[in-house]
Copies of this chain bind each other. A is one copy, B any other.
Amino acid sequence: MHLHEVETIGRDALADLQVRALRATLERARRSPFYGRRLAESGLGPQDIRSPGDIRRLPVTTKDDLRAEYPFGLVTCPREELIRLHASSGTTGASTVVFHDRQDLDNWSDLVARCMYMVGMRPGDVFQNMTAYGLFTGGLGMHYGAERLGCLTVPAGPGNTQRQIKLIRDFGVTALHIIPSYALHFAGWLEREGIDPGELTPRIALIGAEPHTGEARSRIESLLDLKAYNSYGLSEMNGPGVAFECPEQQGMHLWEDAFLMEVVDPETLEPVPDGEPGELVLTTLQRHAMPILRYRTKDITRILPGDCACGRTHRRIDRITGRSDDMFIIKGVNIYPMQIERVLLGIPEVGQNYLIILDREQDIDQLRVKVEIKAEHYRDDPAAMAALHRHIIHRLRDELLVTPGLDLMPPRSLPEAQGKAQRVEDLRPR
């Protein structure tokens, strides 16, 4: 496994490659019932694609489309060619599913292996996969990538911190896949047990599966004494392996040979300029069994302008700052929960947990933030506490442009985030 030459391809050659891949994708997609109709209605055929931007002549595909076409409406091939599915795990309500054939799994494994290689993983590395296997795409996705790369893979699965530590020690684990909230929990556990992370062997953590801030990442890096790299993916686009940080840690290279990227205004669906936040819309360029065209990810990010010092030409996206459907509006200002996390975790006195409370008073939405203060800073000194309160309020107002309510809470008084963090309590009447 070497740095794939496609990662440093010139932009013009990349556009040519995308045009060819897009034509092939349309050719395959129209074999499915759903895109057969969509493409016929739009009148767009493979031969009409002359530049990557021509994809905009098609309507977007939404999660509701996937739900309506569940289970087989987007499948392009005979059933006996399918070898994997990943489905949303709910038992009630509408479901979504993604199918893969053998070549899809091969391509997916390659993309994940490229991410791992990019951040320095090599054969001889020992990779502990600390996330759930099964229908969740993060577990099997990273597992296949690490085996493709040739790392010794420890399929630990999630939870059982004591066992995780034993495995890390016994096998000299050098790289972890861990979700950010569990990484923070894990670091807290090490501290309580008096284990110095500097004595542990991991030097790399792949963190993804839930949006998190740069501040959360910095904490993970310093608490665990390793480098943590941000991973972006979603099950509709395979899972992990869509975009990943390089060693520069300045944004995530999105693999543009495998995915065509747009960033659009969530209201108008018009493209926003590079550098401006918008909703990420993705088109698969390699998928066989189930291509998806112009999928609205709901994830808010922006394209980072300029070249990356690492030399890769694939454009970078910023970390996900929210979901277009978890935005809320306070006093006319659009606010994403991730903005609040970014502020809070950048303040040294603030502990691991916080809660965002949305309520309504006299028909006006109100924002209140409860935040744990670290033990060494939570003191019986009203003046000091008032100063800290003012400081946090100022920082929040600078970021949000509104002034929220704020409660300073004693250490360990808020629910600890395990798994995907649930940090927002919405008490507004429906």
Interface residues of chain A, those whose CB is within 8 Å of chain B, are 70-71, 79-87, 89-91, 95, 97, 99, 102, 105, 122-124, 132-135, 139-140, 146-147, 150-157, 160, 162-163, 166-167, 170-171
Q: Which B residues are CB-close (under 8 A) to A151?
A: 83
**Beta-carbon contact of A133 and B124 below 8 Å:** no
- Chain B residue nearest to A135 in the complex (CB): B155
Partner of A152, one of B84, B133, B150, B157: B84
Question: Given A71-B171, A124-B80, A152 and B91 touching (CB < 8 A)?
Answer: no
Q: What 3 pairs between A and B have smallest CB-CB spacing?
A: A133-B133, A134-B157, A80-B124
- Chain B residue nearest to A164 in the complex (CB): B91
A-B contact pairs, 15 of them (CB 8 A): A71-B170, A80-B122, A80-B123, A81-B123, A83-B147, A83-B151, A83-B152, A84-B147, A85-B154, A91-B160, A91-B162, A132-B157, A133-B134, A134-B157, A135-B154
Q: How far is the CB of A23 from chain B (nearest CB, A)?
A: 28
Q: Which B residues are CB-close (under 8 A) to A124?
A: 79-80
Q: How far is the CB of A173 from chain B (nearest CB, A)?
A: 10
- Chain B residue nearest to A82 in the complex (CB): B152
**In the complex the two chains form, what is the Cα distance from A141 to B140 in whole Å?**
13
Q: Which B residues are CB-close (under 8 A) to A81?
A: 123
**Beta-carbon contact of B134 and A79 below 8 Å:** no
- Chain B residue nearest to A80 in the complex (CB): B124
Partner of A133, one of B89, B91, B139: B139
Q: How far is the CB of A135 from chain B (nearest CB, A)?
A: 6
Q: Which B residues are CB-close (under 8 A) to A150?
A: 80, 83, 102
Q: Is the interface of A mostly helix, strand, loop or mixed?
A: mixed
Q: How far is the CB of A167 from chain B (nearest CB, A)?
A: 7
Q: Which B residues are CB-close (under 8 A) to A82?
A: 152
**In the complex the two chains form, what is the Cα distance from A48 to B147 in whole Å?**
37
**In the complex the two chains form, what is the Cα distance from A152 to B204 in whole Å?**
34
Q: How far is the CB of A351 from chain B (nearest CB, A)?
A: 28
**In the complex the two chains form, what is the Cα distance from A85 to B154 in whole Å?**
6
Q: Which B residues are CB-close (under 8 A) to A84?
A: 147, 152-153, 155
**In the complex the two chains form, what is the Cα distance from A123 to B79 in whole Å?**
9
Question: Given A83-B150, A151-B83, A156 and B139 touching (CB < 8 A)?
Answer: no
**In the complex the two chains form, what is the Cα distance from A81 to B95 in whole Å?**
40
Q: How far is the CB of A16 from chain B (nearest CB, A)?
A: 34
- Chain B residue nearest to A83 in the complex (CB): B147
**Beta-carbon contact of A155 and B170 below 8 Å:** no
Q: Which B residues are CB-close (under 8 A) to A90?
A: 163
